[in-house]
Structure 1
């Protein structure tokens, strides 16, 4: 597809320095970010997600990469009656260039947001000249602009042939990446390290180690009965759900760093009926794979005891989808390289562990060292207060571009054995 001369990524041809090119092009992108943010791409709005992918393809067209659109399986979840239901999601978008280069880099981000079409938060607005408030401006549409600028700068380097790159934009990161997880594993096997453009912290800090995460659904089936005439013949599913909820909540604090969050409970109906069904959903975070195994054992024990009760049956769905991401030697090497790049542009980068998780967890578990919040500086994500600092688009793009440009030129080196 021909690219017009006024395309922002094809413009500024007179700027020869790739880092200066980032500044020149970023100045033309505010409207692009507004358009990305105003396009709803809730995880369960596949048409909106695919429309966002089309916007990104148009922006990245000057890179002349090989493009694949990849259909993913529907997302399976548990409804309020305990039935398993499937919901369609959008397509993943994969771009590749120079896959045979001696150094290969994975760049990742997601197309979806937590704000569905019915959510009242749909429109971006400038708070002031520096701060934009809008759905996905930080998580992660601002990061997609950063990634585009990084690749545009690399493609202007005389040493670009030394680095091959692969981009995966997935449609389901906000719901656990269950459909796109195999694509992440494939990418981990093809590349030497990864850069993910999740938002940086509000103070500009970056994540080091990350906890793992699991989502679990319990469907508790009891027996209905008249609440006044023969309640003793019933088996109250809500009462058992409450017992299980208290037992699960009591697991907090029993292993260092392990948390259990009871996030959702539904059951019952008419007050004169002993409820025969309840649904309990919870999230678990842990810093160590051994803690995940311990939690599974505790859950199995609780469910075995509950299922032994006459008249009750419990089904369990879900599990750990984001393994913990400890600080490996490869990640430490990337942190050191990026810290050095930051120092060159006057940034004192700080890394700290977090309980949050992302696709960087999956990549690390598959053996790919990665840094995973190289996007814009922002905050209040997943709320209608979400914001990002506009100048951080160019700032963070220069940071990651500096890393890739120095690796391409040989002024820095990557130890692929890490």
Structure 2
């Protein structure tokens, strides 16, 4: 590992010996179901994580989520529950501060069949959340442990946010993420690598999730259908028009995902709910989509004489790989090179809290977690050796941030 200073070598040496401890944490945490809607499981995870991070020092608190509304299947606005979020803050001796984020929730609800761990082969562990991202939290914890035990400990301030709703767009934790980001200059998010080889995610599309409640008017389908206003037809028309946005803006992805509504064949449907997702590549795409959606909603309401109530927003702004982002990527790439790792990156249509951090003005690398794959499926796996590999990468990155190697978003290596 040429290129490492003596301080860095001494700090990284103990990480190799802690691989078994990191794996034990991942196994323990992944046996707890912490699906985004499992409030009891999320509370249990938050307590375990608070205890695991406590030896690092700092001030820890559980933060309540912001209130959020959604539209239910009957078209009513209802509260949407989210778990509490763990926030840990440890100021450094100077003004430099890094934000580290991870999520304790998974996509697997309490009644999902995928609840157990098993070895797919030697060194490859299959289980819910092992890669996305309980393995990443283990990496984060070990990297901070190495930083604080080094001669650079205390020089760099850091704040950790482990939220409970990342897999459902971080709606309840968005304000906390934005608040913490205002006190930091750089961000590291511990999502799994973009592929099993360890590639980092570069630019990311943004994402907006929306739901429209469409109120029509019921009538007899045979005697007086003209007196009705068919909400289901209006929802279908809205879905088709929204889908057509991507033909006018090729860098935009649009996915009408679900329609609820309707009833007996002899009744004109008076209520329907449409849900859709929009993914803009650039901020200009997002602005165009917002204007286009407003126009389409007004046209459909007028065409079908229905009322439309919409919830949702672009909770994940686009994250282009601009010069500011490249500076931090270069720093991480240089750290990888000094550790004998070839670090590359590629753009992705997936989104995460890294989108939010970049939108708040931070330089951020958001795939600092383990190598693995098949996330969001019962085939999810983690490559166990990557626990120590990525912990070293993250620890070295933190130490070089502590040394001031990143200046105004550019690597000073």
TM-score clears 0.5: yes
SS at match of 1:32: helix
Query: How many residues align structurally?
Result: 401
**Aligned-residue offset at 1:320:** 0.8
In structure 2, what is the equivalent of residue 12 of structure 1? none
TM-score (norm 2): 0.93
**Aligned-residue offset at 1:28:** 2.5
Unaligned runs of 5+ in 2: 1-8
Counterpart CA distance in 2 for 1:226 and 1:50 is: 50
In structure 1, what is the equivalent of residue 343 of structure 2? 349
SS at match of 1:113: coil
Counterpart contact for 1:253–1:259, Cα < 8 Å: no
SS at match of 1:195: strand
Unaligned runs of 5+ in 1: 1-15
Matched, 1:162 2:155: yes
TM-score (norm 1): 0.92
**Aligned-residue offset at 1:100:** 4.7
Structure 1 ranges of 4+ moved more than 4 A: none
Counterpart CA distance in 1 for 2:63 and 2:206 is: 26
**Aligned-residue offset at 1:271:** 2.0
Counterpart CA distance in 1 for 2:119 and 2:234 is: 49
In structure 2, what is the equivalent of residue 398 of structure 1? 392
Matched, 1:172 2:165: yes
Matched, 1:131 2:120: no
Aligned partner (choices 315, 323, 347) of residue 329 of structure 1: 323
**Aligned-residue offset at 1:74:** 4.0
More displaced, 95-104 or 109-118?
Answer: 95-104
Aligned partner (choices 136, 144, 160) of residue 143 of structure 1: 136
Once the two structures are superposed, residues 299-348 of structure 1 have per-residue CA deviations (whole angstroms, 9 ceiling, x without a partner) of: 11111122224641112221211111112322111111111111112211
Matched, 1:304 2:298: yes
Counterpart contact for 1:184–1:362, Cα < 8 Å: yes
Counterpart CA distance in 1 for 2:401 and 2:238 is: 53
What value does the CA root-mean-square deviation take over the aligned residues? 1.6
Aligned partner (choices 9, 32, 37) of residue 39 of structure 1: 32
Matched, 1:250 2:247: no
More displaced, 274-283 or 27-36?
Answer: 27-36
**Aligned-residue offset at 1:250:** 1.3
In structure 1, what is the equivalent of residue 193 of structure 2? 200
In structure 2, what is the equivalent of residue 54 of structure 1? 47
Counterpart CA distance in 2 for 1:183 and 1:339 is: 29
Counterpart CA distance in 2 for 1:218 and 1:136 is: 31
Structure 1 residues 334, 136: CA separation in 2 closer, same or farther (over 3 Å shift)? same
In structure 1, what is the equivalent of residue 146 of structure 2? 153
Matched, 1:275 2:275: no
Aligned partner (choices 73, 85, 89) of residue 92 of structure 1: 85
Once the two structures are superposed, residues 197-246 of structure 1 have per-residue CA deviations (whole angstroms, 9 ceiling, x without a partner) of: 01102231111111111111111111111222222222211111111111
Residues 78-117 of structure 1 correspond to what in structure 2 (within 5 A)?
78-117=71-110
SS at match of 2:340: coil
More displaced, 55-64 or 389-398?
Answer: 55-64
SS at match of 1:265: strand
SS at match of 2:114: coil
Counterpart CA distance in 1 for 2:67 and 2:107 is: 17
SS at match of 2:393: helix
Matched, 1:68 2:61: yes
Counterpart contact for 2:212–2:273, Cα < 8 Å: yes
Once the two structures are superposed, residues 338-368 of structure 1 have per-residue CA deviations (whole angstroms, 9 ceiling, x without a partner) of: 1111111221111111111111111111111
Once the two structures are superposed, residues 238-273 of structure 1 have per-residue CA deviations (whole angstroms, 9 ceiling, x without a partner) of: 111111111111112322321101111111122221
SS at match of 1:317: strand
